[in-house]
């Protein structure tokens, strides 16, 4: 049983199972979320509800945020904009010795500013974006990419191990977000490549199950083939990671590429494919549903026969 109290703000598709795993690891957990369902379920499991992000911070040694995008993190953590009552931000509740860990995927530039604001208020900060989708969050097998001070990371490493299988200190503040952007460049581009390959094989009259069996153990073998392609050819696009979030992450990556002067020709194309998904109304599908853009263009679906 850990003596630390850990707070969670953001209990969505990733945050709720992560909080459950921290509870199971023996930590006291305090939770807040805009919708009450996840709070009620975690309270039934032993967590303590809080009325606001600031309330979570006041009751916790470590506050973890798992939120959709940069503006939401800035709002919930720093309180930018108009906030009263239940919306009081995390920064209003921290004190000397607090640690805030943002496990969202947001802009590296915004991350550095958030860290500075929190450190001025007396709190340490880590950026620790995650990869592994809903499955990884449920099974505590996430890959966690951490930026921040070495001593702050060392103090939080055991907590990270309650949520993830691979925990890597990537460097100073912002390095976790840079690493996550690199991860999403690879994931998005790979899903696009798998989509093109599957539709090509379908149009050529090949057996899609046989194609997957043949290529998965060779040089093309990857997570997208193992974890997503079998679902794609069955037409299963239940979200493990929303396509809208993949689009958001690729926006972060391409904008950071502009700032750092890094050429991204392939990423730019994949970014446009996920933008098309959003325009087509498929943002709440799994990110593997990017194949639907190609299928619309081709007038045919890459599916196995039932």
pLDDT of residue 2: 67
Q: With beta carbons less than 8 A apart as the criterion, state whether 32 and 50 touch.
A: yes
Q: pLDDT at position 28, please?
A: 97
Q: Do domains 5-172 and 179-298 have the same CATH topology?
A: no
Tens of pLDDT along 212-233?
999 999 999 999 999 999 999 9
- Residues 248-259 have pLDDT tens digits of 999 999 999 998
Backbone region of residue 26 per phi and psi (left: phi > 0; alpha: psi in -120 to 50; beta: other values):
left
d(CA 294, CA 291): 5
Which homologous superfamily does the CATH classification assign to the domain defined by 5-172? Answer: NAD(P)-binding Rossmann-like Domain (3.40.50.720)
Q: Distance between CA atoms of 64 and 87, rounded to whole angstroms?
A: 16
Of 25, 110, 94, 108, nearest in space to 61 by CA: 94
Low-confidence spans in the chain with pLDDT less than 70: 1-2, 81-86, 306
| Residue 90 near residue 77 (C-beta atoms within 8 A) | yes
The fold of the 179-298 domain, in CATH, is: 1.10.1040
Q: Report yes or no: 103 and 180 within 8 Å, Cβ to Cβ.
A: no
* pLDDT given for residue 84 in this prediction: 46
CA dihedral 13, 14, 20, 24 (to 10 degrees): 150
- Among 127, 132, 156, 122, which Cα is nearest to 66's? 127
Cα–Cα separations (whole angstroms), residue 116 to 50, 107, 124: 25, 14, 9
Tell me, what's the pLDDT at 81? 53
What does pTM read for this prediction? Answer: 0.87
- 164 phi and psi, to 5 degrees? -140, 165
Separation between Cα atoms, residue 230 and residue 224, nearest integer Å: 9
Residues serving a catalytic function are 180
Residue 210 buriedness (CB in 10 A; 0-12 / 13-18 / 19+): exposed
Where do the domains of the chain lie?
A: 5-172, 179-298
């Amino acid at each position: 049983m850990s003596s630390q109290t850990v707070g969670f703000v953001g209990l969505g598709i990733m945050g709720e199972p992560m909080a459950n795993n921290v509870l199971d690891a023996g930590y006291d957990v305090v939770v807040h979320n805009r919708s009450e369902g996840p709070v009620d379920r975690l309270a039934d499991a032993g967590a303590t509800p809080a009325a606001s992000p600031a309330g979570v911070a006041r009751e916790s040694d470590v506050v973890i945020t798992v939120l959709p995008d940069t503006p939401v993190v800035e709002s919930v953590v720093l309180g930018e904009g108009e906030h009263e009552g239940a919306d009081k931000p995390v920064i209003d509740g921290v004190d000397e010795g607090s640690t805030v860990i943002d496990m969202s995927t947001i802009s590296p530039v915004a991350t550095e500013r958030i860290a500075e604001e929190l450190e001025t208020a007396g709190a340490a900060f880590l950026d620790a974006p995650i990869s592994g989708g809903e499955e990884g969050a449920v099974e505590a097998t996430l890959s966690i990419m951490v930026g921040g001070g070495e001593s702050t990371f060392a103090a939080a490493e055991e907590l990270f191990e309650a949520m993830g299988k691979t925990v890597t200190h990537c460097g100073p503040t912002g390095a976790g977000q840079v690493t996550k952007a690199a991860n999403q460049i690879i994931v998005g581009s790979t899903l696009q490549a798998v989509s093109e390959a599957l539709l090509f094989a379908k149009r050529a009259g090949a057996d899609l199950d046989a194609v997957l069996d043949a290529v998965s153990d060779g040089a093309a073998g990857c997570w997208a083939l193992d974890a997503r392609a079998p679902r794609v050819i069955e037409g299963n696009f239940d979200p493990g990671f929303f396509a809208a979030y993949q689009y958001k992450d690729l926006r972060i990556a391409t904008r950071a590429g502009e700032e750092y002067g890094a050429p991204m020709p392939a990423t730019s194309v994949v970014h446009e494919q996920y933008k098309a998904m959003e325009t087509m109304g498929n943002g709440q599908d799994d990110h593997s549903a990017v194949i639907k853009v190609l299928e619309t263009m081709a007038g045919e679906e890459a599916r196995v026969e039932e």
